[in-house]
Amino acid sequence: MQNNSVAQYKIYNLYAKAMLNVAYRFCTNEADAEDILQEAFVSAFKNIKSFKGTASFGAWLKRIVINTALNHLKTKKIAFEEIKDSMEPVNEPEIDFEKDELSIQRIQEAMKRLPQGYRTVLTLYLFEGYDHNEIAEILGVSVSTSKSQYNRAKRKLKEFLNEQIYEQGYGG
């Protein structure tokens, strides 16, 4: 398949939209997400022989997209706040997503406003299913930094969503 452009085109059409969504969760603009997507597909097609079939092709491709996105972010020098002391999770009231009429678009807009470090950890943990040990290893930070970035990201995301709710007259 490495040199079969018809097969590559079919695979691209099958997976491009989902993989673009994965890439977009790591960056704030469509152009960067599209660059990540293209680079990931080139890498996947170039390294297709390394696909062993132990996982689905989509899972293998998604891993390439995530790694490409992380490499892209490393070139932008993301700032992660190192935390020396362990942070206790703050118990905050949960947002009632149905009552507050949150849409995917509103959540995406709020996520765009997060600092890149927060958004990266939140995406890896919440959307991609990595644990804090894996995130720490991937990003070259401590486990406590990963946890604190995640907790701060959740808190900031809730703050942004509550601002949207208030500004649009939702929530009471």
Q: Which of 54, 59, 56, 45 is nearest to 10 (CA)?
A: 45
Please tell me which residue, 102 or 35, carries the higher pLDDT value: 35
What average pLDDT does the segment 94-119 reach? 74
Name the class of domain 5-75: mainly alpha
pLDDT value of position 106: 83
Q: What is the pLDDT of residue 28?
A: 78
Tens-digit pLDDT profile for residues 36-73: 999 999 999 999 999 988 889 999 999 999 999 999 98
- DSSP class of 49: G
> Rounded CA gap, 44 and 68, in Å?
11
Q: What is the pLDDT of residue 90?
A: 47
Give the separation between CA 141 and CA 118, rounded to whole angstroms. 13
Which part of the chain has CATH 1.10.10.10?
104-167
CATH topology of domain 104-167: Arc Repressor Mutant, subunit A (1.10.10)
Please list the residue range(s) of the chain that carry CATH number 1.10.1740.10.
Answer: 5-75
Residue 76: per-residue pLDDT: 74
**21 pLDDT more than 50:** yes
